[in-house]
Amino acid sequence: MIRFNNDYNHTAHEKVLQAVMDTGTGSYGGYGEDEWCRKASDYIKNLVSCPEAAVYFLPGATQANFIVCAAALRPIESVICADSGHIFGHEAGSVENTGHKLIALPQREGKITAEQIAEEAAAYYDHGEKEYLTVPRMVYISFSTEWGTIYSKKEMQDISAVCRKYGMYLFVDGARMGYGLGAAENDMTLQDFAGLTDVFYIGGTKCGAMFGEALIVVNRDLQKGFRSYMKQNGAVLAKGWLLGLQFYTLLQEDLYFEITRQADVLAVHIREAFQAKGIPLYVESPTNQQFVLLTDDQMKQLEKNYIFEYMMKTPDGRNCVRFCTGWNTTREEADRLICDIAAL
């Protein structure tokens, strides 16, 4: 059985594993106060061309998401997101648990638009303070999205402009940042993210690391006391060097970007195999997640050799499923799947 069910079913890239192994005999300062975190932080600040940013390494993405909200928002402030957003439906109410309302806008292909956001913001801000409403103070989007799509630079600029107009923070969940940047049609760069957002992250867990997300806090107001928020919510790893080291290793010689781009390439090949077979896509994704509509028979056939993720039954009785490549997916694995698709 070959796993195409997600992009976090392998431990880590071999270079990361080796780097961790190599620390076996050393000793380090605790809680992220070590040379690897410093080196990785400096490297990332340079990479995103933002020396005034602060970089924090957190073990996981759910932590990054709710801790940013907890640190940035006062109790009466709320977060605008897509109704497909990870924080809205996949994190057990973690943001509401910190006390904040989510305002979920209807997504299209996993995305929301600057127009939608502007309308929601205007409804609050353009009519005087209303004490019975929460204050929309942050916009949360994902790059790439839960449906594998990406925002163009123009779309990001428009969203950023709305946020700045209304004084709302823009937060980009980058759990799949590598796959988003690696898409053939992508025109965003990490520098663009640093320029357009207040806070975003470069995901490690799904992009070659054992675990870890590199959170880049551009807005200085959000940097204040941030490590205390991490500690308060259990996100300061005792052996923090494990996080810094992994990112430092992955970012050398563009390894991070190569392995995720390669996953995108394989995913698009797989998509094309489905399309060649006349199997409809649920959404047209340029990244490592591909969503297709299979008949029961097709699904049964593919389940013999592959593990993939069941999403839902569509009204017409088809099965929406996800095939997901990862940094670990080999050309051989993809080719074998492509053959089997052709043989359906």
Site for a second copy in 46-75 (CB under 8 A): 59-63, 66-67, 70-71, 74-75
Of the candidate residues 51, 126, 128, 132, the single one contacting a second copy (CB under 8 A): 132
CA separation, residue 128 to residues 79, 123, 139, 212 (Å): 19, 10, 20, 42
Residue pair 275/281 in contact (Cβ under 8 Å)? The answer is yes
Of the candidate residues 232, 252, 295, 314, the single one contacting a second copy (CB under 8 A): 232
Cα gap 72→93, rounded to integer Å: 17
Residue pair 81/141 in contact (Cβ under 8 Å)? The answer is yes
Nearer to a second copy, 26 or 280 (CB): 26
Beta bridge partners of 103: 80
* Beta strands across the sheet bearing 281-283: 281-283, 289-294, 319-324, 309-313
User: What is the CB-side half-sphere exposure of residue 187 using CA atoms within 13 A?
Assistant: 6
279 binds a second copy (CB under 8 A): no
Interaction pattern, residues 299-338, with a second copy; x per rule: CB under 8 A:
-----------------------------x----------
User: What is the CB-side half-sphere exposure of residue 275 using CA atoms within 13 A?
Assistant: 13
Cα gap 118→341, rounded to integer Å: 43
Nearest distance from residue 234's CB to a second copy, in Å? 4
171 binds a second copy (CB under 8 A): no
Interaction pattern, residues 189-228, with a second copy; x per rule: CB under 8 A:
----------------xx---xx-------------x-xx
Interaction pattern, residues 13-32, with a second copy; x per rule: CB under 8 A:
-x--x--xx-xx-xxxxxx-
- How far, rounded to the nearest angstrom, does the alpha carbon of residue 168 sit from its chain's CA centroid? 20
Of the candidate residues 138, 188, 236, 321, the single one contacting a second copy (CB under 8 A): 236
Nearest distance from residue 152's CB to a second copy, in Å? 28
Of the candidate residues 40, 80, 235, 250, the single one contacting a second copy (CB under 8 A): 235
Nearest distance from residue 170's CB to a second copy, in Å? 20
Nearest distance from residue 237's CB to a second copy, in Å? 6
Cα gap 124→133, rounded to integer Å: 8
Residue pair 34/240 in contact (Cβ under 8 Å)? The answer is yes
Nearer to a second copy, 186 or 249 (CB): 249
Of the candidate residues 38, 43, 108, 133, the single one contacting a second copy (CB under 8 A): 133
- What SS3 class is residue 266? helix
Count residues binding a second copy (CB under 8 A).
72
38 binds a second copy (CB under 8 A): no
Tokens of 126: 């353009």
Of the candidate residues 38, 45, 91, 303, the single one contacting a second copy (CB under 8 A): 91
Cα gap 189→172, rounded to integer Å: 13
